[in-house]
Amino acid sequence: MKRFIQGEHRGQGTLLPESLDDYVSDTNPVRDFKTIASFRKDNSKPIRGVCRQFVVLCQQLGLFGEHLVAIDGSKFKAVNNRDRNFTSAKLKRRMEEIESSINRYLTALDAADRQEPTTSEPSAVRLEEKIAKLKTQMKELQAIEIQLNESPDKQVSLTDPDSRSMMTRGTGIVGYNVQTAVDAQHHLIVAHEVTNVGSDRDQLSSMAKQARAAMASDTLSVVADRGYFKSEQILACHDAGITAYVSKPMTSGAKADGRFNNDAFLYDAAKNEYICPAGEALIWHYSYVEKGMKLHRYWNSKCRGCAMKPQCTPSTERRVRRWEHEAVLEEMQNRLSNAPKMMRVRKRTVEHPFGTLKQWMGATHFLTRKLNGVSAEMSLNVLAYNLKRVMKILGTSGLMKALSA
């Protein structure tokens, strides 16, 4: 297949006029280098609306056939240097460094005062200038400390006030946490949201509900990694009729110490008791509420004489706690056991779009500031990504036909 039209000249003049002035007048806003930036800033809400409307078009075209989405989050850099973001620990460390430098310069200034005036005068002037500069910096930090104490999350960013310091693999960045729900069939971004909360644990049900609304589907399955595992979020998906697949993080201290973890204890729903590895029954003793969750406690008083006690617990008896909605979590774990490839589906579905978006956006990621502007910028990138994906699926002519219909 030839990549150009036979007989046509391949020079740039074929595509563009010899002078752009033939097409672009002096008053055309394109000549203003801020045109794109101003458009993005002034039309943030319509941009997000167009992005959502294109997802609706994809749904009408039947591109969401599997009713399965993968949810993930990734950190994107904000227009805010790490030195211009402050937490309580960072501010305290910086103030201590300045205080130490001031004391060091004051000591040097005292030493300079004891020397001959002719030799010590230039040095003393420089030291006084440095001390004055450090005292100015200290006042600035004290003003930031007031803002820090008033901030709900105890963080202050000076360039982009909505950006936050977040942990990433190996190091941290000042930026935003971008959430996406990606269709497993064609890898289209069904829903996205920009947040300035570093953790993913409270995002599962919100993203799942947004994805279901965008896909206009009565049934939906969502898969996410262990960073999204939170009992209340999984219950919220269950109550909304959304089937969740979220791997459970391995945080058992008992298993790390070589002892039985809670999975070794089998629950008998009919008798409301647990069966331990030694075959004994751990019966219910009491219930209590912790962090808004109703929990039940089970144990057996025969643990002291058990031969397997060293493998079970260093305490007097092994106690097992159970959430009142634990059955929902157990049902999900059974689904995962019966679908061992689900985590591979998640990885190949949701991670590639993030890599593509970050490559397009470059090393600095976001160019706009504040949550509203950053959300609009991300919507533009998501729209571009989905447009290119649909062109790959339907072809350019197919997409144009769908848009004009």
Is the pTM here over 0.85, yes or no? no
Confidence check: pLDDT of 35 > 90? no
Confidence of residue 66 (pLDDT cuts 50, 70, 90): confident
Burial class from Cβ neighbours inside 10 Å (0-12, 13-18, 19+) for residue 188 reads buried
Dump pLDDT digits (tens) for 136-189: 888 988 898 998 888 888 899 999 999 999 988 777 899 999 999 999 999 999
Tens digits of per-residue pLDDT, 330-360? 999 999 999 989 999 999 999 999 999 999 9
- Amino acid 78: pLDDT: 94
CB atoms within 10 A of CB 355: 10
Say what the pLDDT of residue 12 is: 54
* pLDDT, position 76: 95
Domain boundaries, the chain: 43-80+161-250+327-404, 83-157
Residue 267: phi and psi, rounded to 5, are -90, 130
Q: Give residue 337's pLDDT.
A: 92
**Is the pLDDT confidence value at 5 over 70?**
no
Tell me the mean pLDDT in the region 396-401: 89
Burial class (CB in 10 A: 0-12, 13-18, 19+), 119: exposed
Residues 309-318 have a mean pLDDT of: 90
pLDDT digits (tens, 9 = 90+) for 264-291: 999 999 999 999 999 999 999 999 999 9
pLDDT in tens, 111-123: 766 666 655 556 7
Pairing of strands 293-299, 281-290: antiparallel
Q: Are 214 and 57 in contact (CB under 8 A)?
A: no
Start-to-end Cα distance in the chain:
31
How far apart, in whole angstroms, are the C-alpha atoms of residue 150 and residue 146?
6
Selection from 176, 155, 189 nearest residue 75 by Cα: 176
Q: Looking at residue 69, what is its pLDDT?
A: 95
Check if the beta carbon of residue 61 is closer than 8 Å to that of residue 394. Answer: yes
Helix intervals (H) in 225-367: 231-239, 253-256, 326-338, 342-361
DSSP character string of 122-163:
HHHHHHHHHHHHHHHHHHHHHHHHHHHHHSTTSEEESSSTT-
**Number of Cβ atoms within 10 Å of the Cβ of 307:** 7
pLDDT at residue 75, rounded to an integer: 94
Coil/strand/helix, residue 70: strand
Task: Tell me the β-bridge partners of 242.
Answer: 220
Cβ-contact 262, 245 below 8 angstroms: no
Q: How do residues 375-391 score in pLDDT, each as one tens digit?
A: 999 999 999 999 999 99
**36 pLDDT band (50/70/90 cuts)?**
confident
How would CATH label the architecture of 43-80+161-250+327-404? 2-Layer Sandwich (3.30)
What pLDDT, in 10s, does the model give residues 179-200? Answer: 999 999 999 999 999 999 999 9
Report long-range pairs for 232-236 (Cβ below 8 Å, ≥24 apart): 232/293, 233/201, 233/202, 233/203, 233/204, 233/205, 234/204, 234/328, 234/329, 234/332, 235/325, 235/328, 236/204, 236/205
The yes-or-no verdict on residue 13 having pLDDT over 60 is no
Among 265, 251, 271, 269, which Cα is nearest to 313's? 265
What pLDDT was estimated at residue 304?
Answer: 87
Radius of gyration of the chain (CA): 30
Report pLDDT for 1: 47
Q: How confident is the model at residue 44 (pLDDT cuts 50, 70, 90)?
A: confident
Residues comprising the chain, all counted: 405
pLDDT band at 17 (very low <50, low <70, confident <90, very high): low
